[in-house]
Amino acid sequence: MLRKRQPIFAANWKMYKTIQETRAFFASFFGALSEYADRKTVIAPPFTALAAAREEIGAFKRQDVSIAAQNVFFEEQGAYTGEVSLPMLQELGVEFVILGHSERRHIFGETDMGVAFKVRAVCEAGLCPILCVGERLSEREAERTNMVIGIQLAAALAALPENALHGLIIAYEPVWAIGTGKVASAEQIAQVHAFIRSWFAVHFNSALAENIRILYGGSVKLNNAAQIMGIADVDGLLVGGASLDAGEFVKIVSCEI
């Protein structure tokens, strides 16, 4: 299938892997992964392993693989104990930043407004935000999925001009599918991805809507990756648990698209 948008296979390692484990991952990952021109791989290790990941990618001379941070603070510097800024990430060669992940929203109390500040800062710095949206099970059961996602998008992208959104990537991650082994059905994924694309057509314009990449995340494994990639409007995957194993993630990235 000839795709309009280059697919992205993104690994969110969450709070897993030391520097040593990161180096070991890349040794086996690059030992097995062909260099693909038709897809991009993005790895988001913890902050402490970003430099090692960058070094490994450089040592293997892999243009098809980039690194992402799992979060960032929007101020450039200051008295913000425990936070990391965009200049700090840029110094490490980070190109993508995951924002608004449901674990950040629900465990760490991140708000829509906080996410909006971060999206703006990441776009202004010229990096690509991977903005996560998704409904909880109770919201799906109450048939409020589109509404919840519409609100998350509107809040995160409020006050951003269209030309600031260059490089924006959306990840649809139903909260009930994250780390549970429950994957959204093909119909559910197709419906929400189409809704997100139409949301951009309505709130921005159809050219932006056509270009924006929408990833699916939530219990993606080797046995469902190709099928999910075959669903309309799915432009890539955001993989948690299954991305920690180099062998399994190589196979996911290599799936038929």
Catalytic residues: 101, 173
In the region spanning residues 118 to 147, those forming contacts with ligand 13P, defined by CB under 6 A, are: none
Contact between 219 and ligand 13P per CB under 6 A: yes
Q: How many CB atoms lie within 10 A of CB 220?
A: 24
Contact between 41 and ligand 13P per CB under 6 A: no
Smallest gap, in angstroms, from Cβ of residue 98 to ligand 13P? Answer: 7
Is 246:32 a contact under the CB 8 Å cutoff? yes
Helices (H), 92-240: 102-106, 112-124, 137-141, 145-157, 186-203, 206-211, 222-229
Smallest gap, in angstroms, from Cβ of residue 154 to ligand 13P? Answer: 22
Smallest gap, in angstroms, from Cβ of residue 215 to ligand 13P? Answer: 9
CA 86/CA 88 separation, integer angstroms:
5
Smallest gap, in angstroms, from Cβ of residue 33 to ligand 13P? Answer: 19
Per CB under 6 A, the list member of 239, 246, 253, 257 interacting with ligand 13P is 239
Contact between 178 and ligand 13P per CB under 6 A: yes
Q: Output 129 or 217, the one with its CB closest to ligand 13P.
A: 217
Phi, psi of 14 (to 5 degrees): 55, -140
Beta strands in the chain (DSSP E): 8-12, 40-44, 65-69, 96-99, 128-133, 169-172, 213-217, 236-239
Is 47:69 a contact under the CB 8 Å cutoff? yes
Q: What DSSP state is assigned to residue 168?
A: -
Q: Output 238 or 255, the one with its CB closest to ligand 13P.
A: 238
CA 126/CA 104 separation, integer angstroms:
23
Q: Output 16 or 204, the one with its CB closest to ligand 13P.
A: 16
Near ligand 13P by CB under 6 A, which window of 77-85, 162-170, 193-201, 239-247? 239-247
Q: Applying CB under 6 A, which residues contact ligand 13P?
A: 12, 101, 173, 178-179, 217-220, 238-242
